[in-house]
Amino acid sequence: MLLHVPGILDADALASVRRALLDAEWTDGRATVGLQGAQVKRNEQLPDASPVRQRLAALVLEAVSRHPMVHAAALPARIFPPRFNRYRGGGEYGFHVDGAVMTVDASHDMPAHRIRSDISCTLFLNQPDDYDGGELIVSDTYGEHEVKLPAGDAIVYPSSSLHRVTPVTRGERLASFFWVQSLVRDDSQRRTLFELDASIQTLTATGADRESLVRLTGIYHNLLRRWAET
C-alpha cells in the first residue's frame, strides 16, 4: 500500500528541524548501505552517532507515534530511529530494495536489536519548489509512482518495493527516512485493516447505527487478532 500521510510535522517543528540541519555535519550516505546500494547511492546523511541526528530523530519519532493515520496504516510494532539525508548537486539514489533486517545500535536505555523492515517511510522536510528533481519513484505491479510531497508530509510504502530518488539538479532535498516493523507482516492484510478502520471512522462520524458499528469493530479486532505477530 502506497499512502500519502499529511501533516506529520507542523510549521514550527519543520523550522526547528531545518535550522538544526543547516549547521549539521553531513557524511557520505554510502556509509550505511551494502555493496550493491553503494554503487547507485550519491547523497549525504547525518551520522547515526551525531547528537543532532539523535535529537531530531526523537522529535520525528514522537510526531510519527502520535499520528493516527500512521498507526492505522502501519500498525507499528517497532520503528527504526529516523535518519536524515540531503540530496544536491546531482545527488541521486538508483533503483534498489531496502534491506530486510535493520540493526538498531544500543542506546542508554535499550540494547542493540534488529527490526524487520515491512514498511519504508520518507518524510519530506522542505517544499517541492525548493529544488528540481528529487522525486521518489516507487515501482510496483501497477507501474511507477512519482512522489514529491509538501514539507511535513510523508509517504509510506512496502519495503519490498523497488524504488529510487531522481537526481536533484537545483537546490537541495531534505528528508527523514525510517522503517517500520508492523504487527501485521502482510501488506494486503494491512490494507484490509486500514480500509476497514477508515470505514468504521467514517460511519461513526455520520452517526451510523451503534449496534452495527460494534459488530464491525469486532470484525476488525478479530482479524487483527488473527494476523498480528507480537
Residue position matching grid coordinates 494476523: 227
**Mean pLDDT of the region 168-176:** 98
Q: What integer pLDDT is reported at residue 180 of this predicted model?
A: 98
* Number of domains observed in the structure of the chain: 2
What is the number of H-type helices and E-type strands within the chain? 6, 17
Nearest to 71 by CA among 176, 218, 201, 174: 201
Whether 121 and 154 have beta carbons less than 8 Å apart is answered as yes
Segment 121-145, tens digit of pLDDT: 999 999 999 999 999 999 988 899 9
Q: Tell whether 194 and 167 lie within a shared domain.
A: no
Cell (9 digits) for 126: 522542505
Give yes or no: residues 178 and 194 share one domain. Answer: no
* pTM to 2 decimal places: 0.94
Q: What is the pLDDT of residue 14?
A: 98
Could you tell me if 21 and 8 lie in one domain? yes
Beta pairing, strands 119-124 & 172-182: antiparallel
- Rounded distance between C-alpha atoms, residue 94 and residue 12, angstroms: 33
Q: Is the pLDDT of residue 33 over 80?
A: no
The whole-angstrom distance between residue 100's C-alpha and the CA centroid of its chain comes to 15
pLDDT score for 32: 82
Q: Are residues 129 and 173 in the same domain?
A: yes
Residues 31 and 57 occupy one common structural domain: yes
Domain that holds residue 136: 3-182
For residue 40, pLDDT beyond 80 = yes
Q: What is the pLDDT of residue 118?
A: 98
Residue 106 has what DSSP assignment? P
- 55-109 pLDDT, tens digit per residue, is 999 999 999 999 999 999 999 999 999 999 999 999 999 999 999 999 988 876 7
Place of cell 522542505: 126
CATH number, position 32: 2.60.120.620
Query: Does 178 lie in the same domain as 194?
Result: no
pLDDT at 189: 98
Torsion angle of alpha carbons 7, 8, 10, 14, nearest 10°?
-120
Say whether both 90 and 14 belong to one domain: yes
Does residue 208 share a domain with residue 158? no
pLDDT reported for residue 108: 67
Question: Does pLDDT of 37 surpass 90?
Answer: no
Tell me the average pLDDT of the chain.
Answer: 95
